[in-house]
Each structure stands twice: as structure tokens, then as C-alpha cells.
Amino acid sequence: MKEFIGMAVLKILGLLLAFVFSYILFLVVCSLFVDSKKEYEKHSKFYRVLLNGATSIAIKIMRIRLHVNGIEKIPPDTKNLLFVSNHRSNFDPILTWYVLKRWQPAFVSKASNFKIPIFGRFIRKCCFMAIDRENPRNAIKTIQKASELLKKGEVSIGIYPEGTRSKTCKLLPFHNGVFKIAQKAEADIVVLAVSGTEKISKNYPLRHTDVYIDVLEILPAKQVKETKTDIIGEHIKTAMKNHLG
């Protein structure tokens, strides 16, 4: 009987390993069909499904428990939204695009993220855009492209006004020019607050991590269009500070 149980366990483990290997191989093959240097202007539903599926597995492996509040505030049937959030960890966009998968957010991200194996190519097919932090002229081109995609309703756009991660978890100065994306596209701004992501690397693998993604408010497109970007930035920063403490 013990030998039978042992053989059964080995077979199950073998099948599990075979499935994992086949799944990873499938993702690798799919990634090979993506031009790693091209910025796509058409969103791929197929690659979005692959991206969300792989993200779901990663969340379970990393022992992350997501707590989402206020998502009912977001208009359910539009992709013409600019998602704005604070930035504490490299996990922020990953968990945010998963939570907001209904709205298909494409993030404006640093160029190095597009070099990540498999994921880097998948996000390209989902209209994510690299921004050149060192060249303001190129950065403006990226903002223009993001506003065009947003206006067409091809995807929603995700942006971090701080421009980089805050290692102290205190809000960094905002780059208010990013709010022009919403102004040019005549889009609502969805203000988010993320906390807990900074603990994932410290907790894993011994402990789970609770991550909170809260929808604070929606700024209507008309209000955004009629308000200066520095005032928008100050309003959003205050809302985040009040919520995050």
C-alpha cells in the first residue's frame, strides 16, 4: 500500500512538473512572435490574457493577498481612463494591471522593464510604452502617444507622477506634465493609492504579504481639462497623503 501511494505521489509530481514546463515553454514561444523593439498601437487581447494569467500565478507563488477597495467607483464600460497612483515597488504596476484588467491599462514605464524575459514582450503587445527619463523631448512624444491611445479608447493608461519608486514610502515630487495625457484625451483621472507592495520582497517566501489598492476618487474629464496641471497634481498628492498617512 505504501509503495502504491509513493508511486501515485511521484506520478502526480511528474505531471505537475510537466505541466509547469509546458506552460513556460508555451509562454516563451508566444513571446518570440513579439518584436522586442516595436511599440504597438493596437492592443492584443490574446497577449493580455497571457499577461493576466501569468500574473495570477505569480501572485499565488509570491503569497500576495490583494485587498481592493472602491473599485465600484470606476465607470465599468469605458477604457478612456488615466489611472494615477503612488509608486513604492516594482510590483505596483503588475498588481495594478491585474486588479484593473477589466479596463486594460497600459503603463508608461521605464525602458528596462521591457527587457524582462517574456513579460517585457507581452506588455509591448498590450500597448505599454517606454519613457525616456533623461530626454524631455522624447518624454513629451511618449505623453503624446499615450494621449492618442487613450482618446481612441484602445487602452486605458497607467502613470506614476513621481516618476520613480519612493524607497522611503513618502511621496516624491510630482511630474505634473503627465496629467496632460488626460487633458489631451479628454479623459477622467482615476486616483489610486497602493500600499504593502514594499514588503513583498522582505516577506517572501516565509510570510504572505497583504497589499491594498484603493480607489480614492474620480476626477471628471471636464474638470481635468479646465484645471492647470500643477493644481491637479497638488490635489491628487493631497488625496494620496491623506489616505496613506
Segment 109-155, tens digit of pLDDT: 989 999 999 999 999 999 999 988 778 788 889 999 999 999 999 99
Q: How far apart are the first and last CA of the chain?
A: 59
Q: Are 74 and 215 in contact (CB under 8 A)?
A: yes
Cell 503624446, located at residue: 144
d(CA 130, CA 108): 6
User: What is the enclosing helix (H) or strand (E) of 130?
Assistant: strand 129-131
pLDDT band at 94 (very low <50, low <70, confident <90, very high): very high
Average pLDDT of span 17-34 = 94
Give the whole-angstrom CA distance, residue 40 versus residue 105: 14
pLDDT-based confidence at residue 245 (cuts at 50, 70, 90): confident
Q: What is the mean pLDDT of the chain?
A: 93
Among residues 176, 174, 161, 171, the alpha carbon closest in space to that of 195 is found at 171
pLDDT of residue 5: 66
| The C-alpha cell that represents 190 in the structure block | 482615476
pLDDT tens per residue, range 157-207 = 999 999 999 999 999 999 999 999 999 999 999 999 999 999 999 999 999
Residue matched to cell numbers 500643477 = 230
Residue 3 has pLDDT above 80, yes or no: no
Query: Helix 45-61 and helix 91-99: axis angle, to 10°?
Result: 120
